[in-house]
Structure 1
Amino acid sequence: MKYSYLILIILVALFAGCNQSTNSEKSKANKIVIGISMLSMQNEFIVNINDEMQKKAQELGAELIIVDAERSPLKQIEQIESFIAQKVDVIILNPCEYEASSPAVTKALAAGIPIVNVNSATKIAPTAFVGSNDLESGRIAMRFIADQLGGKGNVVMIQGLNGQAAQIQRELGAKEILKEYPELKLIAQQTAEWDRSKSMDLMQNWIQSYGAKINAVFAHNDEMGLGAVKALQDAGMKDKVIVVSIDAIADALQAVKKGHLDATVFQDARKQGAGAIETAVKIAQGKQFEKELLIPFKLLTKEDVDSYLK
């Protein structure tokens, strides 16, 4: 009897252990897996979006597979193909380019995997988009310049990476405002590829070419805006030139507070990152979701920047 009782206890324990293991495997299998391809982890604003996605995923119990496309659309397409092979539940795409990254969206949809674009658009419409209207940011920045210059003067525009949605739309938005001011002239525009040092080099060249003719600079992001500020400071021209850029990264907020950068247009990385994960999870769970979640921009000057400083 003793042996029979002991065997019975062992069998119950083994069954309980197997049941726990099965439940654990089921729990793991039920976890939502999201594949994420980011434009570039060398860009502070993109890193901020990434950080917020990780926080929200942890809160919602989703598993993330995050890869860096390093600004290469071809690499991004390969990453999406890898996610398809891994059979992730949802893909989040932070596109490198408007047209060149579009095949990534096409491939995901053809494979039956929902895809959410975050921060930037593609020519091919994804399942959902979470970001901001970049036309709006270009309008806000150029309207600020027009107001500061009284509608008269010469402007240079430092563009983002050519072909990316933000570059295209911020340029279009700025030019919409320029049309309203015939005496506000765009005398030069060129890409610095979202990069601070490239922007500094470009601004130095423009200073040599145009000198005191430059009255204002519109940079498509803060990294490039700060590069322009440094070049103007080195040339002893910053006090005479208005500089406005976009994103409200930490360095830019400090520069606005110190009066080095005249304004930055706040783009909410927290809401974009969290919103992308929330949307992806809703899609995976078969719940209703917004096909387009647009988060507003806001102009920040020295007077109102303090509340945005961490």
Structure 2
Amino acid sequence: MKQILLILTFFVALTGCNQSDDGANGGKPLIGVSMLSMQNEFIVNISDEMEKKAEAVGAELIVVDAERSALKQIEQVESFIAQGVDAIIMNPCEVEASSPAVTKALAAGIPIINVNSATATKPTAFVGSDDVESGRIAMEYIAKRLSGKGNVIMIHGYMGQAAQIQREQGAREILKKYPGLKMLAHQTGEWDRAKSMSLMENWIQSYGNKIDAVFAQNDEMGMGAVKALEAAGMKNKVVVVSIDAIPDALQAVEKGTLDATVFQNAGQQGSQAIETALKIIDKQPYEKEVLIPFQLVTKENVAEFKQ
């Protein structure tokens, strides 16, 4: 009888171990996701694609909004670690300030994938696009439209974020190639349409007809600049280029109010971030860096990008 009880106890213990191995999640991979800001349309598009992909492959996501706070993002990653997630996907708020989140995840033995934006500390993997390339594409388009001569204004994204740093770098590389192009002014619009509209209104007051082109580091800011220029009756004289190819921007390119945008593939970034996370969880071979190319969108090819 004792022997039977011992065997039963051993069997229950073994079953208990197996259950905890699968986690309380019924064997589904559990992935914690911290996004830069759910007030940003492009970031929401990435998040939506991740949710769609996770549902298709049978993974469970815990998605949280860092609301542009690196401190909040670190706390969210600490919470994911405490919850024992299988992997973390982070859309970093800042290059330096979000880096401790990567360090903490790696120290806890949890793979962390940066999506769309980088940190100074190397994560397990990165899925996104080369933002330097997007800055080059946008500024090269401006240079061609202005025949290499004119005054340019640049509206930065959220300062210290990888996309802001790298898009500025790419734009400045091109400016160096064209001595006839001058940077008239540059300031942050924090990826925000209303803030950029207000900035542009101030610049119109200060510089008026001296402005030949505007490079906005994302479409939200580009659309804000267009609105201010239209209100001042100056849009026909000023070239405006931005990045992301969100639906509003594609419509504006089609109408001719926005001269060009640079397509960044939110869908591929989102789905490939999930695919990479699952490969790592399943101990399959994976790429440490997945780079999805940017593409220039003008009136000539905008139809290809409209869904």
Q: TM-score, normalised by structure 2?
A: 0.92
What aligned pairs does 1:101-180 form with structure 2 within 5 A after superposition?
Answer: 101-180=98-177
Secondary structure of the corresponding residue to residue 155 of structure 1: strand
Q: Which residue of 1 aligns with 2:217?
A: 220
Paired with 2:247 and 2:97, the residues of 1 have a C-alpha distance of 30
User: Secondary structure, in 3 states, of the residue corresponding to 1:67?
Assistant: strand
Matching residue of 1:84 = 81
The answer to whether 1:40 aligns with 2:51 is no
1:274 corresponds to: 271
SS at match of 1:122: coil
TM superposition shift of 1:26: 5.6
Determine the structure 2 residue equivalent to 1:241: 238
Task: Give the residue type in structure 1 aligned to 2:154.
Answer: M
- CA shift at 1:307, angstroms? 1.7
Distance of 1:95 and 1:101 partners within structure 2 = 6
Deviations 1:180-211 (A, max 9, x none): 00010011000000000000000000000000
CA distance in 1: counterparts of 2:160 and 2:145, whole angstroms: 30
Deviation at 1:29, TM superposition (A): 3.3
1:255 to 236, 252, 257: 252
How many residue pairs get matched? 289
Measured against aligned partners, the alpha-carbon deviations of 1:230-250 in whole angstroms (never above 9, x if no partner) come to 000000000000000000000
CA distance in 2, matches of 1:26, 1:68: 27
- Cα RMSD (Å) of the superposition? 1.4
- Name the larger-Rg structure: 1
Query: Residue 148 of structure 2: SS of its match in structure 1?
Result: coil
Matched, 1:293 2:290: yes
Tell me the distance in 1 between the aligned counterparts of 2:184 and 2:122.
Answer: 35
CA-to-aligned-CA distance 1:236-273 (integer Å, 9 cap, x gap): 00000000000000000000000000000000000000
The code of the aligned residue for 1:273 comes to G
Structure-1 separation of matches of 2:224 and 2:203: 13
Amino acid paired to 1:89: D
Q: Aligned residue for 2:46?
A: 49
State the alpha-carbon separation in 1 of the partners of residues 304 and 284 from structure 2: 35
C-alpha distance in structure 2 between counterparts of 1:29 and 1:116, whole Å: 23
Partner letter of residue 55 of structure 2? Q
- Aligned partners of 1:67 and 1:267: how far apart in 2? 23
2:3 equivalent in structure 1: none
**Local SS of the residue matching 2:117:** coil
- Alignment partners' CA distance in 1, 2:261 and 2:34: 27
Q: Which stretches in structure 2 are left out of the alignment for 5+ residues?
A: 1-14
Unaligned 5+ runs, structure 1: 1-18
* 1:135/1:26 CA distance change after superposition, 3 Å: closer
Q: How many angstroms apart in 2 are the aligned matches of 1:152 and 1:26?
A: 63
Residue 177 of structure 2 aligns to a residue whose secondary structure is coil
Instruction: State the 1:39 CA deviation.
Output: 0.3
Amino acid paired to 2:145: Q
**Aligned counterparts of 2:22 and 2:51: Cα–Cα separation in 1:** 23
> Using the alignment, how far apart are the partners of 2:303 and 2:283 within structure 1?
41
Structure 1 residue ranges (4+ consecutive) displaced by more than 6 angstroms after TM superposition: none
Q: Give the distance between the partners of 1:62 and 1:125, measured in 2 at CA.
A: 25
